[in-house]
Amino acid sequence: MTPSERQLISVLLDDYPMAGLGSITELASSASVSTTTVARMLQKTGFDGYPQFQAALRGEVKEMISGPAAKRNVWQNDLPEEHILNRYSQQALANQKRTIDEVDPAEFDSFCNLLSDPKRRIFITGGRITGALAQYLYLHLQMIRPDVRMLPFAASWTHDLLDVRKDDVLIALDVRRYENSTMLIGQLCQERQAKIVLFTDQWRSPIHRLAEHTFAARIAVPSAWDSMSAILMLMECVIAEVQERLWDSVKERTDELEQAFDRTKLFRKFGQSSGP
């Protein structure tokens, strides 16, 4: 890509896919390039012209807002004659590989730098489905370092945001049909000058416009529901890296936690009697 073509792509991605739904003249003007540059870039990326490009964008908009029934309709007439164990797992594994391949290692390291900084507090939020992943990330980071807080799903998260300071970190999880409450949390944290990190899907939640780091995972599988396995893989990579960076303090915290587990008898010990 030429510098002007990269500039055009940057504008498209900053407001994707809406930036490409106007006229070719409007797109060229917003990117400060010529319409010839737009046409040349589209040709390089495999489109016959601007109408075909816009048709593809409209299809992506439809995918972004589709509910479970619409997602199933996309797959049901195009499923291979294989057992669900094969056809589903093969797509989920392909999603994981493509997601990891598309992560910029430098951006990943920069995100881990934020999480490893003891001066920063970490706030984590998710949505109706992604909340389970947010809780998973919270439990691990809370074992690794202090000052990690999970924002509750109820409206009481507004109380927690009172404590957000400049340069704290908000980790937000938001996948298609993007949730208004997660967007509002992102906006409020940005106003308080927190660093925002987003885990999202390939179409990217609108929160990406606020985020310092965005990690876009592939989530579509032959099902009415999306697969979160690629996002989980990304988060586990983060957990493993931050743990190693902070291992001396992690070891100390883990030892204290194990002592607490022993006192509460939360876990069974090998050979432990089952009696009272």
Q: What is the pLDDT of residue 134?
A: 97
Q: What is the pLDDT of residue 142?
A: 96
Cα–Cα distances in angstroms (integers) from residue 175 to residues 84, 126, 170, 226, in the given order: 24, 9, 16, 9
Would you mind telling me the total number of residues written for the chain in this entry? 276
Q: Per-residue pLDDT tens, the chain, 276 aa: give them.
A: 899 999 999 898 888 888 898 999 999 999 999 999 999 999 999 999 999 999 998 887 777 766 666 666 666 666 667 788 888 899 999 999 999 999 999 999 999 999 999 999 999 999 999 999 999 999 999 999 999 999 987 777 888 999 999 999 999 999 998 999 999 999 999 999 999 999 999 989 999 999 999 999 999 898 888 999 999 999 999 999 999 999 999 999 999 998 998 888 888 776 665 555
The correct answer on CATH 1.10.10.10 for the domain covering 3-65 is: yes
Contact 183, 206 (CB under 8 A): yes
The correct answer on CATH 3.40.50.10490 for the domain covering 101-263 is: yes
Domain spans of the chain, in order of start: 3-65, 101-263
Q: What is the pLDDT of residue 110?
A: 98
